[in-house]
């Protein structure tokens, strides 16, 4: 176990001197704290798109094509996938560009997103339109509650359901809730991406596979790995409580690379909080973490949590567990506590009485 000493995760510090480029870009965005998003977007635009175009050029020398393909996959899946995915997440919750530049808010989901296998606007529809309102409860089509969350077999069922029927389930949810606009946005984005991949495959299938199809497969797997880990430990007595159905990962390089995404409890508690505010809010609300027996890990991120759950390595999880409030005396006690939060949970809906 670990004791809570200090936080090393990023917070906003206003620079004493602003560069000319910072001053220029600040005119377009709503929050100056999002300037790193501007520079990340530019890096992606001027690296991945040129490589993607190169892969589609006819009669490119074979070795040049393979070098470009390998470079594209490395930059896409190792360098940029995490930062982009969480930038998309942040800008889905908080609008990126000023109202007078509203058209620029379509750039990430429609121009950059498809390079990472993010079908336009389906992420927003799923995450903002369903996941947060339902908070991992049974109406959430990506809920982890009904699964044994330290079971690889359970995870594969969860992944398969999302991968092959996720959009269908999302659409049926919007139909039930009568949210026609979100239904249209999710269907439109998914169909656009599929149609584009089919059409481009007739032009150049190897390029289409490298540029769009493989990143799509990897993204869907990574998103489900992340959601599984974020909602792996749930209190059966209070599953709708963000402090008891989510986890937080602090003091990890992942938070520096992916905009404090490790703070998932406070994110569900305050979905529109700016990413730089989470460490400060965490310290202010420590009493809530103690009262609710919240699960906090130090020095690891969601991929570690998922991998160790699949291997049932509760000893490793306990080693990185932050003993807030000093409730536990040994790692064995912590391991037992964590294991007790991973069992299947069935919520029985109370019958609705109809007057005769």
Residues 6+ apart with CB under 8 A from 254: 82, 261, 262, 301, 302
Grade residue 355 by pLDDT with cuts at 50, 70 and 90. very low
- pLDDT of 352: 41
**Residue 296 belongs to what H/E stretch?**
strand 295-298
User: Average per-residue pLDDT in the chain?
Assistant: 95
Rounded CA-CA distance 148/261 in Å is 24
pLDDT in tens, 311-321: 999 999 999 99
pLDDT above 90: residue 351: no
**Residue 250 belongs to what H/E stretch?**
strand 247-250
Across 94-109, average pLDDT: 97
Confirm if 289 and 243 have CB atoms less than 8 A apart: yes
User: pLDDT exceeding 90 applies to what percent of the chain?
Assistant: 94
- pLDDT of 348: 55
Rounded CA-CA distance 220/159 in Å is 8
Give just the sign of the alpha carbon dihedral 47, 126, 90, 256: negative
- pLDDT of 89: 98
pLDDT in tens, 173-206: 999 999 999 999 999 999 999 999 999 999 999 9
Whether the model pTM is above 0.85 = yes
pLDDT above 90: residue 354: no
Rounded CA-CA distance 112/217 in Å is 16
Confirm if 215 and 117 have CB atoms less than 8 A apart: yes
- pLDDT of 108: 98
What is the number of other CB atoms lying within 10 angstroms of the CB of residue 32?
14
pLDDT in tens, 37-79: 999 999 999 999 999 999 999 988 999 999 999 999 999 999 9
Q: How many CA atoms lie within 13 A of 85 on its CB side?
A: 27
Across 137-154, average pLDDT: 96
Indicate the SS3 state at residue 70: helix
Grade residue 2 by pLDDT with cuts at 50, 70 and 90. confident
pLDDT in tens, 221-268: 999 999 999 999 999 999 999 999 999 999 999 999 999 999 999 999
pLDDT above 90: residue 353: no
- Look up tokens 């092959």; give the residue: 164
Ranking 3-17, 222-236, 275-289 by mean pLDDT, the lowest is 3-17
Grade residue 213 by pLDDT with cuts at 50, 70 and 90. very high
Confirm if 24 and 351 have CB atoms less than 8 A apart: no
- pLDDT of 5: 72
- pLDDT of 356: 41
Grade residue 1 by pLDDT with cuts at 50, 70 and 90. confident
State the DSSP code for 141. T
pLDDT above 50: residue 28: yes
**Residue 331 belongs to what H/E stretch?**
helix 331-339
- pLDDT of 343: 96
Across 296-307, average pLDDT: 97
Grade residue 300 by pLDDT with cuts at 50, 70 and 90. very high
**Nearest-10 crossing angle of helices 180-208, 48-56:** 60
């Amino acid at each position: 176990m670990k004791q809570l000493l200090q936080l090393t995760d990023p917070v906003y510090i206003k620079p004493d001197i602003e560069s000319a480029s910072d001053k220029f870009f600040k005119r377009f965005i709503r929050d100056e704290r999002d300037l790193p998003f501007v520079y990340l977007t530019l890096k992606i635009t001027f690296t991945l798109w040129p490589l993607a175009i190169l892969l589609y050029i006819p009669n490119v020398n074979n070795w040049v094509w393979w070098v470009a393909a390998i470079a594209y996959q490395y930059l896409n899946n190792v360098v940029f996938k995490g930062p982009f995915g969480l930038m998309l997440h942040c800008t889905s919750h908080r609008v990126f560009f000023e109202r007078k530049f509203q058209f620029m808010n379509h750039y990430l989901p429609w121009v950059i997103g498809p390079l990472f296998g993010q079908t336009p606007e389906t992420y927003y529809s799923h995450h903002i339109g369903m996941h947060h309102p339902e908070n991992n409860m049974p109406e959430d089509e990506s809920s982890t509650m009904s699964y044994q969350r330290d079971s690889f077999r359970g995870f594969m069922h969860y992944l398969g359901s999302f991968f092959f029927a996720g959009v269908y389930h999302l659409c049926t949810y919007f139909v039930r809730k009568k949210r026609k606009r979100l239904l249209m946005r999710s269907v439109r984005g998914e169909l656009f991406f599929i149609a584009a991949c089919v059409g481009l495959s007739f032009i150049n299938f190897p390029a289409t596979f490298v540029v769009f199809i493989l990143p799509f497969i990897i993204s869907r797997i990574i998103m489900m790995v992340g959601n599984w880990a974020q909602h792996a430990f749930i209190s059966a007595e209070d599953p709708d409580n963000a402090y008891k159905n989510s986890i937080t990962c602090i003091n990890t390089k992942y938070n520096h690379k992916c905009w404090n995404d490790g703070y998932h409890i406070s994110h569900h508690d305050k979905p529109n909080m700016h990413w730089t505010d989470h460490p400060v809010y965490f310290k202010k609300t420590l009493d809530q973490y103690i009262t609710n027996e919240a699960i906090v890990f130090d020095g690891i991120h969601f991929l570690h949590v998922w991998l160790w759950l699949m291997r049932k390595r509760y000893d490793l999880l306990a080693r990185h567990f932050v003993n807030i409030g000093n409730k536990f005396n040994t790692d064995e006690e912590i391991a037992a506590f964590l294991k007790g939060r991973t069992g299947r949970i069935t919520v029985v809906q109370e019958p609705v009485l109809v007057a005769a």
